[in-house]
Amino acid sequence: MANPKTTNLGLNKVDRSNPTTTTFNTKPIIDDNADILDAAFGAAGHTHDGTAGNGPKITSAGLAADAATDTIIGNRTINDANVPAAASARITSLLGQIGNMIKQITGKANWYTSPRTTLENAVKRDGDTMTGNFIAPNVPNSTTAAVTYYVRTDGNDSNNGLSNTAGGAFRTIQKALDSLPKILYHPVTINVAAGTYPEDVVAYGFVYGGTTAGAGGIVIQSANTAQGATNVNSFSFQHSKGRFEIIGFTATTTTKSAFFSVYSSHVLFDSCWVSAVASGQHGYEFTSSQGRITGGAASNRNSGIMVNYYSQVFINGTGGTGNVIGVSSIISSHVGFNTTTAPTGAAAQVASQGGIIVSAVGTLNPWGDNTTSLRSHVRVLPAAAQPVNPNIYTKLQFINEAADHLSEWDTSNSKFTAKSAGVYLVTYSVTFTNTEAQKQYWCSINLNGQQNLSGTAHSSLTGADVQVTASKLLALNAGDTMEFYCQHNNSVARNVSGDGLYTHLQILKVG
């Protein structure tokens, strides 16, 4: 007769249906049952996951109180390199993620290393008392000696930046700047190897702290200053006071000003280049800043050089083409040149809202048209006495030139032709000699051939000299002409004096 079986594993049982049975076959009861148990538990164990052959799931009801002791659970090793990535995980993974977060908060190398202070002490609220000096971690408050850093494309920002090798140099210019204190008592040099650095470099909040020449400056210089040899996205100096010099970089950005200074002083860009097409962005931009641009070029921009909001910039030999505006000076800004080289554009230069642009020769007058040698100015005199018949308008002959800066006076026909549009001040004196009593004398300016009466006089005594003087402002266009006439009503011809002290004409552009 077949042996009865257990429900789950099918183990053989002794048949006790006949109470008189006192003997049984040991093989199925011992050997076969051992094989069944070995097959069920020998390889994978018994999971109690509720599947066939593995038994029902063990629930909290199936555990004795405090059954999961530390001894039962055993030791677990926390891997604090396990970066938190999700809200749920197995217990060991969760512990590692928590350890990683603790390490990030304390800034220590391991999660179990005690921090230098507590959050309660480190964070102060309104009303709390702060004692001691605040020191940024790993960054001194001010320089203690001259600093030289190196940046290379094969460097690494985990290096110290102090040697010009792959194992010593920084990888980014920004890392070199971020490694500096904000107060500069000593010169700082950042040497950058040729190559491409895809970064928007920002120098923020540096302050000149020195009192001697050469102190308190940052020089960032490339090993190769040729256009395209050392590339960055952009450079900007913000809220910095001192002396900052950028030498030999090409900026490639098309989304912002390539070289930018805002609320900063003594920012110098030397041999820097921008040519990437961006008609909505500027090449160089100075906002409420002071600085200099030397060499290099700014091309294909809105303004090759934009100077605004009370800035002052000196430009020395910087070129460029293809801009909308070559150079802009707006909102009470001042731009000065040392040479005639400048970025060009559809409009070469634009000054507005109180902005000033001054050429290399400087400005000596309030009209901004530079030295008197470049300003329209004519002073002419007669060569000899000129007879004038009565009652006939007679053209005055001014033959001798005392001044004619722009060659606007034609001595062959005594005519002035304006070279440019503007406001001109015309003053003249015409003296009639040996006149008759109770006679009239007139002078007029013929503007583009049309008579324009401007001066009269009256004689009261016989034999007296009569002087007609006038001063008049005229708005002229380029190409407008002026000629000068006189008339009298004496009974016979009278002479106009040939002495330049008494008869003369002066024309001056004043606006």
The residue that leads in pLDDT, 422 or 48, is 422
Res 51: pLDDT: 67
Torsion angles phi and psi, residue 415, rounded to 5: -135, 140
DSSP assignments along 452-483, one per residue: EEEEEEEE-STT--EEEEEEEEEEE-TT-EEE
Res 30: pLDDT: 79
Task: Give which of 5, 18, 12 is closest to 33, Cα–Cα.
Answer: 12
β pairing state of 217-222 and 195-204? unpaired
pLDDT reading at 333 higher than 90: yes
Torsion angles phi and psi, residue 121, rounded to 5: -80, -30
Q: Is 303 exposed, middle or buried (0-12, 13-18, 19+ CB in 10 A)?
A: buried
Res 436: pLDDT: 93
The answer to whether the beta carbons of residues 188 and 216 sit under 8 Å apart is no
pLDDT reading at 453 higher than 90: no
pLDDT band for 339, please (50, 70, 90 cuts): confident
pLDDT band for 457, please (50, 70, 90 cuts): confident
pLDDT reading at 62 higher than 90: no
* Per-residue exposure over 252-266, b if at least 16 CB sit within 10 Å of its own CB, e if not: bbbebbbbbbbebbb
β pairing state of 284-287 and 303-308? parallel
The residue that leads in pLDDT, 62 or 248, is 248
Task: Give which of 362, 258, 377 is closest to 314, Cα–Cα.
Answer: 362
For residue 44, the SS3 value is coil
Place of tokens 């048949």: 15
pLDDT reading at 44 higher than 80: no
In tens, the pLDDT along 248-293 reads 999 999 999 999 999 999 999 999 999 999 999 999 999 999 999 9
Res 365: pLDDT: 53
The residue that leads in pLDDT, 360 or 315, is 315
The answer to whether the beta carbons of residues 483 and 395 sit under 8 Å apart is yes
The residues near 22 (Cβ < 8 Å, ≥ 6 apart) are: none
pLDDT reading at 47 higher than 70: no
Torsion angles phi and psi, residue 122, rounded to 5: -80, -30
Q: Where are the alpha helices (DSSP H) in 2-78?
A: 26, 33-41, 70-73
Res 91: pLDDT: 80
The residue that leads in pLDDT, 55 or 110, is 110
- Rounded-to-integer distance, Cα 219 and Cα 176, Å: 12
User: For the chain, first and last CA: distance in Å?
Assistant: 132
pLDDT band for 456, please (50, 70, 90 cuts): confident
The answer to whether the beta carbons of residues 314 and 333 sit under 8 Å apart is no
Res 15: pLDDT: 74
